[in-house]
Amino acid sequence: MKFFSGFCFQNEEELFDNFLIKTDFCAAGFSYGAIKALKYTLEQNKRIDTLQLFSPAFFQDRDEKFKKLQIISYRKDKYRYLKNFYKNAIYPKDLNIDKYKKEDSLEDLKILLYHKWKKEDIEKVLQKGVKIEVYLGKKDSIIHSIKALEFFKEFTEVYFINNGGHLL
């Protein structure tokens, strides 16, 4: 299995153990890593049976003002920004994620904020015979999970976890 980590996360794969399909024919990604997993699946010529997207970074419903504010806040005080980001990502609130934290670049933040999930890309993956599973938490404080649900449900299986946050 090929797993792609989320923005400012590393080795968080174990947080999704209850859902992950651990075979050589699965690609998975969390948040920003979901974007990378989609790209990987699109570019691969080798067999992939399942693409798992956990809390995919879905910001195409956000306006330019929101995105610019994120970038300005990151530039101004990266450590404060990340402290707030991690606080919002954690649900339940007692989960210790210290061992998964890492710093990513401003460029990574821009990529995830401006990524546009395209119907055509999803359809190309499906045409390759890849099953797509999307996992969303109703209590996600990072993305608008309802907006992501509305987009992905047209194409894929979506598991909407009522008591789940960004880290499900």
Domain assignment of residue 73, yes or no: yes
In a domain, 14, yes or no: yes
Q: How far is CA 51 from CA 28, 37, 132, 158, in A?
A: 6, 7, 5, 12
166 domain residue, yes or no: no
Q: Is residue 65 part of a domain?
A: yes
Does 167 map to a domain?
no
- Whether the pTM exceeds 0.85: the reply is yes
Tokens of 131: 């099953």
Low-confidence stretches of the chain (pLDDT beneath 70): none
What's the pLDDT score for residue 94? 83
Report the pLDDT value the prediction gives residue 93, as an integer from 0 to 100.
Answer: 77
The domain total for the chain is 1
Task: Extract the tokens encoding 49.
Answer: 């049976």
CATH code for the domain of 35:
3.40.50.1820
Write the pLDDT tens digit of every residue in 119-167.
Answer: 999 999 999 999 999 999 999 999 999 999 999 999 999 999 999 999 9
Is there a domain that residue 168 lies in? no
Please give the pLDDT value at position 54: 98
147: containing domain = 2-161
pLDDT at 91: 80
